[in-house]
Amino acid sequence: MKQVLKKPLITEKLTRLQEEGKYAFKVDKHASKADIKQAVIDRYPEVKIKKINTMIMPSKPKGRYTQSGYIVGREKVWKKAIVTLKEGEIDFFSEI
């Protein structure tokens, strides 16, 4: 299988959720909750996972104006996982 955890998601709303021990990741579209749990444990061995919620994010229409006219397209469908921790903390900024 491909890399399960693609990247952490950092937005204002998700930063607020981090105070409650919830962290969001963009994950492989075909990854199961068990795959995601194992990938988080492998990457961050000091944390204990309580729960994992996943959701498929739908594609959105996108468009832009160019010199030759308006080009229409769509975003790809992707999967988001919100991992709730029992104990421990993940620091995304120390990995950079």
- What pLDDT, in 10s, does the model give residues 36-73? 999 999 999 888 999 999 999 999 999 999 999 999 99
Domain that holds residue 34: 5-91
If one counts the domains in the chain, the total is: 1
Say yes or no to pLDDT of 91 above 90.
no
* CATH number of the domain to which 76 belongs: 3.30.70.330
- What pLDDT, in 10s, does the model give residues 7-17? 999 999 999 99
Q: How far is CA 29 from CA 6, 58, 84, in A?
A: 10, 12, 19
Indicate whether 96 belongs to any domain.
Answer: no
Residue 96 DSSP SS3: coil
Q: What is the pLDDT of residue 96?
A: 54
Ramachandran angles phi, psi of 37, nearest 5°? -60, -45
Indicate whether 61 belongs to any domain.
Answer: yes
**Mean pLDDT, range 18-45, rounded to an integer:** 94
Nearest to 29 by CA among 80, 89, 71, 63: 80
